[in-house]
Amino acid sequence: MATVNPRRPTEPSGRKLSIHVVTWNIASEAPPLDLNDLLQLNNQNLNLDMYVIGLQEMNCGIMSLLSDTAFEDPWSSFFMEVLSPLSFIKVSSVRMQGLLLLVFAKYQHLPFIQIISTKSIPTGFFGFWGNKGGVNICLKLYGYYVSIINCHLPPHVANNDQRLEHFDQILEMQNVGRHDIPNILDHDLILWFGDLNFRIEDFGLHFVRESIKNRCYTDLWQKDQLNIAKRQDPLLREFQEGPLRFPPTYKFDKNSDNYDTSEKKRKPAWTDRILWRLKRQPHAGSYTPKLPAPNFSLSLKSYISHMMYTISDHKPVSGTFDLEVKPVVFIPMITLMHEGLWTTENDILISYSSTPDFLSSPWDWIGLYKVYINVNNIPETEDQFLLCYYSNSLQSVAGISNPFKIQPRVILQEDPPGEAQPQI
């Protein structure tokens, strides 16, 4: 095995990542045929780097759970089939009964994403049942700590105090218990979303529906339980949210755009929300919070609901963010290169080098992967491949090569006799 010593690249001044976050209570339904609007695949102005997808109320019947244990669940499979041809790779996932959290990233970002932990925090039935609670993926992104939490909080307007208790409980249980990992409140970014189940207080059903019909949301915002709680709770106040300029996303008759017409006639509410919190920097010599670090900033570009989807009694919500970072880590721990011309009929040679602080393991491995390309945007249609170095100790990809081609094997056959015809 040969090694190479690449020249140390110039430290980058900054990098912007576009992140699309999705939350949807799918009410145990299977994926629809088309999710292009939800994933913003038709938006030519977007060049996304990451997808963060959180689902609630996935089908968690016994047969479904057994099937999903043996095979990929249908929603994960659907997202992978749609996103793989666009050069996205599933970085990590975690599931707890009906809760599912998925993170996808463009392959070029993989060496700079390190999975720290995945966690499930059940809060249903006094913490013994996972029908309610939260799932978390904690990762380092270009050297910064990012915690992603998808949760499902208790329902009904009267259970607001219980919702707030579960919020605190899920947050408190995120700490991984390792000395080298900071407390979650010291992470650079927390993305918190899901079916938070906060309701609209005081107003009656008729007033709420008339306000929605006339698109007069101002009065409803004032009585939204989450907005009220943020005004009263100092910690919750640190979580930001975009403006609710879309209609309440709950509760609809399935396969329609009509709010609940059943006997219960649930009052509409903004149950499905996306929040975020940036780490605050203390003033010198004091503990008073200041502005976030200038090397790490997040801006919301879009916060919308997707009313066209009718399979559930909830409408999905998405938020698109621009994350601007000055990378702490900008050199891959492993640099991989393929040596010479690769063909399917000859031995192959791989060269790689590592940074001085990289700890290898006998369980590390190098994989060869086919690169899927979008032929609508890239005229190149020949198969291309990548080498990926997987670190067992980091549970992450530590290095990735540039795309390259492999020459197919050529077999000479006599057909007809006396004439050599190449067969690929």
Residues 6+ apart with CB under 8 A from 115: 91, 92, 137, 138, 139, 394, 395, 396
Point out the least confidently predicted range of 149-158, 238-247, 287-296, 297-306.
287-296
Rounded distance, CA 402 to CA 264, Å? 58
The full set of domains in the chain, from first to last, is: 15-325 (3.60.10.10), 335-400 (no CATH)
Instruction: Tell whether the model's pLDDT for residue 1 goes beyond 80.
Output: no
Per residue in 198-229, pLDDT (tens digit) is 999 999 999 999 999 999 999 999 999 999 99
Q: What is the pLDDT at residue 350?
A: 85
Q: What is the pLDDT at residue 379?
A: 41
Q: What is the pLDDT at residue 288?
A: 45
Q: What is the pLDDT at residue 410?
A: 52
Confidence of residue 380 (pLDDT cuts 50, 70, 90): very low
Contact 346, 32 (CB under 8 A): no
Q: What is the pLDDT at residue 324?
A: 94
Q: What is the pLDDT at residue 9?
A: 54
Q: Which range, 20-34, 53-67, 376-390, is most confident?
A: 20-34
Contact 133, 123 (CB under 8 A): yes
Confidence of residue 81 (pLDDT cuts 50, 70, 90): very high
Average pLDDT, integer, range 38-52: 94
Give the count of alpha carbons within 13 A of 271, CB side only.
Answer: 26
Average pLDDT, integer, range 348-360: 87
Looking at every residue in the chain, the average pLDDT score rounds to 85
Residue 165 identity = E
Q: What is the pLDDT at residue 181?
A: 84
Q: What is the pLDDT at residue 420?
A: 41
Q: What is the pLDDT at residue 36?
A: 97
Confidence of residue 61 (pLDDT cuts 50, 70, 90): low
Confidence of residue 10 (pLDDT cuts 50, 70, 90): low
Based on the number of CB atoms within 10 Å of its own CB, is 356 exposed (0-12), middle (13-18) or buried (19 or more)? exposed
Based on the number of CB atoms within 10 Å of its own CB, is 158 exposed (0-12), middle (13-18) or buried (19 or more)? exposed
Point out the least confidently predicted range of 10-24, 29-43, 65-79, 251-265.
65-79
Instruction: Tell whether the model's pLDDT for residue 98 goes beyond 70.
Output: yes
CA distances from 8 to 11, 108, 286, 378 (A): 9, 18, 38, 30
Instruction: Tell whether the model's pLDDT for residue 290 goes beyond 70.
Output: no
Q: What is the pLDDT at residue 71?
A: 58
Q: What is the pLDDT at residue 421?
A: 42
Q: What is the pLDDT at residue 419?
A: 46
Strands 396-400 and 411-414: unpaired
Average pLDDT, integer, range 135-149: 95
Point out the least confidently predicted range of 23-32, 205-214, 347-356.
347-356
Rounded distance, CA 335 to CA 399, Å? 6
The alpha carbon dihedral of 286, 289, 294, 295 has a sign of: positive
Longest dimension (CA), the chain: 91
Residue 139: other Cβ atoms inside 10 A: 21
Point out the least confidently predicted range of 51-60, 123-132, 223-232.
123-132
Q: What is the pLDDT at residue 415?
A: 47
Based on the number of CB atoms within 10 Å of its own CB, is 371 exposed (0-12), middle (13-18) or buried (19 or more)? middle
Contact 315, 258 (CB under 8 A): no
Identify any residues that bridge with 421 across adjacent strands, giving them in sequence order.
413
Instruction: Tell whether the model's pLDDT for residue 2 goes beyond 70.
Output: no
Q: What is the pLDDT at residue 74?
A: 93
Instruction: Tell whether the model's pLDDT for residue 325 goes beyond 70.
Output: yes
Of the candidates 259, 237, 240, which has an alpha carbon nearest to the alpha carbon of residue 248?
259
Rounded distance, CA 222 to CA 231, Å? 10
Rounded distance, CA 200 to CA 224, Å? 5
Of the candidates 180, 177, 152, 150, which has an alpha carbon nearest to the alpha carbon of residue 166?
152
Residue 299 identity = S
Confidence of residue 384 (pLDDT cuts 50, 70, 90): confident
Instruction: Tell whether the model's pLDDT for residue 154 goes beyond 70.
Output: yes
pLDDT cut 70: percent of the chain above it? 81
